[in-house]
């Protein structure tokens, strides 16, 4: 019963941690929108100067607040457009889409430039800066897959050289998962040190006095301290997530211990490890090689971070939060546009005698339809014709096609190329090789290399013959 409680609690802690890692993930905002780069200027900047900058740089089809209209391919005299402009239609989509043109704190006004003109956008930013407007461009870049891939490869090497491969693989799953949700170079360096510490800890798994022995190990103490320091220097959020990772890792060890106890009870004979932890050397040829690989992984992270940075940003910018399809929040998506278009096209033809809930229809379902009478000239006569609007796959496809046919650079064109179930804000900025980031990566590398050299030169614990 006691072991069952351990298993249940450990599983709950692990699942809760994984859920929080996903919910509170930090996606670098260098890649905000596919096909577009974001230029941001102070909200109080002269829009005439901004427009002049884009025109002089040759930036075309810039999506801005000033060139947005009702996204319907219809005349302004039609009932549908008239009601949308009057604000009588019940949906708030037209108001909510304006949030895309400001950061979360409304300190910056946002402009979306097609990636075709990204270099011209940088020229426009320089023009604005020459006019004392502190503008910047968030250049589109790919998700830094190199960061979690390095962690994944390093974890695979540790598993391969581990004496307990299954336990090691299970133990390193959560740190690797963490690297995908916090893909920062400095955080990955800290994770490499953390995973190597787990690798060493498994060498004394279930041996007497294992914890006191590990707590006195200078390498583990140094690696743990540097890991925590690097995570918090990367960001407060990243540091708090690392503490959660540590808690979940403890839960993994408790879970493995409880499961092992349950499995051992099935056998009448239970072998006991008589050699205590203090008699086990952590400095073996395998562990030294893995430590060297750890140093190499951190060095690769540093080099790739320096070579891959392509972002221009104002020096005064701090934690700028920009709209993104990968963020969390309540920004409208292309699906909201489709629903708004259905509502706008059907609203003038719904009986006012119906209940308000029936008239609004802001969340239509598959198969919903609205029928109404229209008058058309046929054979020289004006005849009454029944027309129906059905919410189905054809209506959705027609809505998306109508966006492409709009004669102006509508925000819906960008939303259509970045379809997602939800959209919100993410913290702007790719990982730049600032002095702090450089120090974090260099510190991690030096710590790993120092202990490798020290142990290679003979600073090892004596090991009885035959003990690995």
**Could you read off the pLDDT of 37-76 as tens digits, one per residue?**
899 999 999 999 999 999 999 999 999 999 998 888 766 6
pLDDT score recorded for residue 272:
62
Between the alpha carbon of residue 404 and those of residues 59, 171, 401, 417, the distances in Å are: 19, 49, 5, 10
Number of other residues whose CB lies within 10 A of the CB of residue 298: 29
Task: Give the residue-averaged pLDDT of 358-380.
Answer: 72
**Averaged pLDDT score across all residues of the chain:** 80
**81, burial (CB in 10 Å: exposed 0-12, middle 13-18, buried 19+):** middle
Say how many CA atoms lie within 13 Å of 43 toward its Cβ: 9
Mean pLDDT of 2-17: 81
CB 281 within 8 A of CB 467: yes
Pairwise pLDDT comparison (71 vs 308), residue with the higher score: 71
pLDDT tens digits along 246-256: 999 888 888 88
Sheet of 321-324, strands arranged across: 321-324, 423-427, 328-331
Backbone angles phi, psi at 195, to 5 degrees: -65, -35
Q: Are strands 423-427 and 381-390 parallel, antiparallel or unpaired?
A: unpaired
Can you tell me the distance from the alpha carbon of 352 to that of 270, in angstroms, rounded to the nearest whole number? Answer: 79
Q: Give the confidence band of 310 by pLDDT, cuts at 50, 70, 90.
A: very low
Q: What distances in angstroms separate CA 189 from CA 242, 252, 441, one per listed residue?
A: 13, 22, 7
Among 126-135, 359-368, 452-461, name the most confident range: 126-135
Lowest mean pLDDT among 116-125, 311-320, 330-339: 311-320
The answer to whether the CB of 132 falls within 8 A of the CB of 141 is no
What local confidence, expressed as pLDDT, does residue 365 receive?
83
Tell how strand 369-378 and strand 328-331 pair up: unpaired
Cross-strand pairs, 389? 370
Contact 135, 125 (CB under 8 A): yes
Percent of the chain's residues with pLDDT above 70: 78
Q: Looking at residues 259-264, what average pLDDT do you find?
A: 70
Confidence (pLDDT) at 39 = 92
Whether the pLDDT of residue 94 is over 80: the answer is yes
């Amino acid at each position: 019963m006691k072991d069952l409680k351990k298993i249940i609690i450990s599983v709950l802690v692990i699942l809760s941690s994984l859920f929080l890692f996903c919910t509170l993930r930090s996606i670098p905002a260098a890649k905000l929108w596919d096909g577009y780069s974001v230029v941001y200027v102070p909200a109080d900047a002269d829009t005439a100067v901004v427009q002049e900058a884009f025109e002089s740089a040759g930036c075309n089809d810039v999506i801005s607040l000033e060139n947005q209209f009702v996204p319907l391919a219809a005349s302004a005299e039609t009932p549908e457009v008239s009601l949308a402009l009057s604000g009588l239609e019940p949906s708030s989509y037209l108001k909510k889409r304006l949030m895309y043109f400001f950061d979360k704190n409304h300190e910056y006004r946002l402009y979306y430039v097609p990636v075709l003109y990204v270099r011209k956008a940088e020229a426009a930013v320089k023009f604005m800066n020459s006019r004392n407007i502190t503008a910047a461009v968030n250049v589109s870049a790919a998700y830094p897959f190199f960061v979690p891939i390095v962690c994944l490869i390093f974890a695979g090497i540790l598993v391969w050289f581990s004496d307990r491969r299954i336990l090691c693989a299970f133990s390193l799953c959560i740190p690797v998962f963490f690297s995908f949700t916090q893909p920062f170079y400095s955080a990955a360096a800290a994770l490499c040190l953390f995973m190597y510490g787990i690798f060493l800890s498994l060498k004394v798994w279930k041996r007497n006095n294992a914890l006191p022995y590990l707590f006195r190990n200078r390498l583990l103490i140094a690696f743990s301290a540097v890991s925590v320091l690097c995570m918090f220097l990367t960001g407060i959020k990243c540091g708090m997530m690392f503490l959660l990772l540590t808690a979940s890792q403890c839960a993994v060890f408790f879970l493995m211990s409880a499961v092992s106890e349950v499995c051992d009870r099935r056998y009448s004979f239970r072998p006991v490890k008589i050699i205590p932890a203090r008699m086990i050397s952590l400095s073996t040829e395998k562990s030294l090689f893995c430590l060297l690989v750890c140093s190499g992984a951190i060095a690769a992270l540093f080099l790739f971070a320096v070579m891959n940075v392509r972002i221009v940003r104002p020096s005064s910018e701090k934690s700028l939060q920009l709209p993104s399809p990968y963020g969390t929040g309540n920004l409208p998506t292309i699906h909201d546009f489709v629903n708004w278009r259905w509502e706008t096209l059907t609203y003038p033809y719904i009986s006012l005698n119906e209940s308000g809930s029936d008239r609004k229809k802001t969340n239509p379902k598959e198969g919903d339809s609205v029928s109404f009478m229209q008058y058309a000239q046929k054979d020289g006569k004006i005849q009454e014709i029944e027309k129906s609007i059905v919410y189905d796959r054809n209506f959705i496809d027609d809505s998306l096609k109508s966006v492409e046919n709009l004669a102006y650079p509508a925000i819906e064109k960008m939303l259509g190329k970045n379809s997602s179930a939800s959209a919100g804000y993410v913290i702007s900025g790719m990982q730049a090789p600032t002095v702090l980031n450089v120090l974090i990566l260099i510190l991690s590398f030096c710590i790993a290399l120092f202990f490798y050299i020290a142990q290679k030169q003979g600073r090892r614990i004596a090991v009885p013959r035959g003990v690995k």
